[in-house]
Structure 1
Amino acid sequence: MTTDLRETRASPWPFVGMAGMACAFFLYAASGLLAPWWGVVLLLAVWVLLLVLACAWWTPHPRLVPWVAVFAIVLWFAVVSAGGAWWGWTA
């Protein structure tokens, strides 16, 4: 009972999700142009947690990893927009 590695195919979805997480990182890191320093620190902490979740889901849930990246980008937009409206963050 041997497993032939040629028969197992790697899913491309985790790679797509990690590329999305890399894009989200640049949004989160560049938030210093829009948010105070403590807001950027909190955003980056949230991004790290989402990255850990994406890494944890790499093998058991490969099709969900891109959705983590989509959630990260939507969350960034919502937080930066809400922060600008509520706390008067300026561009």
Structure 2
Amino acid sequence: MRRRRVAAPPRATDFWPFGGMILMAATLFLYGASGLVAPWWAVVVLLVLWLALFVLACSWWSSHPRRITVLALGALALWFASLVAGASLLGWSA
């Protein structure tokens, strides 16, 4: 008697990379809206930095999916620290 091969059940999709990319998209809006407080050159620097972090997150999609969420939270903290430091040290204001 010949045995039938049964396909393995599909693996559950991990939410970590998707959640991290959702957070990265949210931080993009924050980085872009920084123009309300920061000068144009600081916004350009922040957006270039965000783009570099986004490329890093894309490269980590398969190999390190949980790191994407940590990276996105770090991008959020970096944005906050940059605006607070700019406002207190460089006099940025609305």
Matched, 1:53 2:56: yes
Cα shift at 1:6? 3.8
What pairs up with 1:58-69 in 2 under 5 angstroms?
58-69=61-72
**Which letter does structure 1 place at the counterpart of 2:37?**
L
Partner residue, 1:30: 33
Unpaired runs of 5+ residues, structure 2, are 1-6
Query: Once superposed, what is the RMSD of the aligned Cα atoms?
Result: 1.2
Unpaired runs of 5+ residues, structure 1, are none
What pairs up with 1:3-22 in 2 under 5 angstroms?
6-22=9-25
TM-score by length of 1: 0.91
CA distance in 2, matches of 1:46, 1:70: 14
* Aligned residue pairs, count: 88
- C-alpha change, 1:82 and 1:54, in structure 2 (3 Å) is same
**Which letter does structure 2 place at the counterpart of 1:14?**
P
Q: Percent identity?
A: 50
- C-alpha change, 1:24 and 1:5, in structure 2 (3 Å) is farther
Per-residue CA distance 1:9-50 (angstroms, 9 max, x = gap) = 331110000000010000000000010000000000000000
**Which letter does structure 2 place at the counterpart of 1:57?**
W
Cα shift at 1:7? 3.6
Structure label with greater radius of gyration? 2
Cα shift at 1:5? 6.9
Segments ≥4 residues shifted beyond 6 Å: none
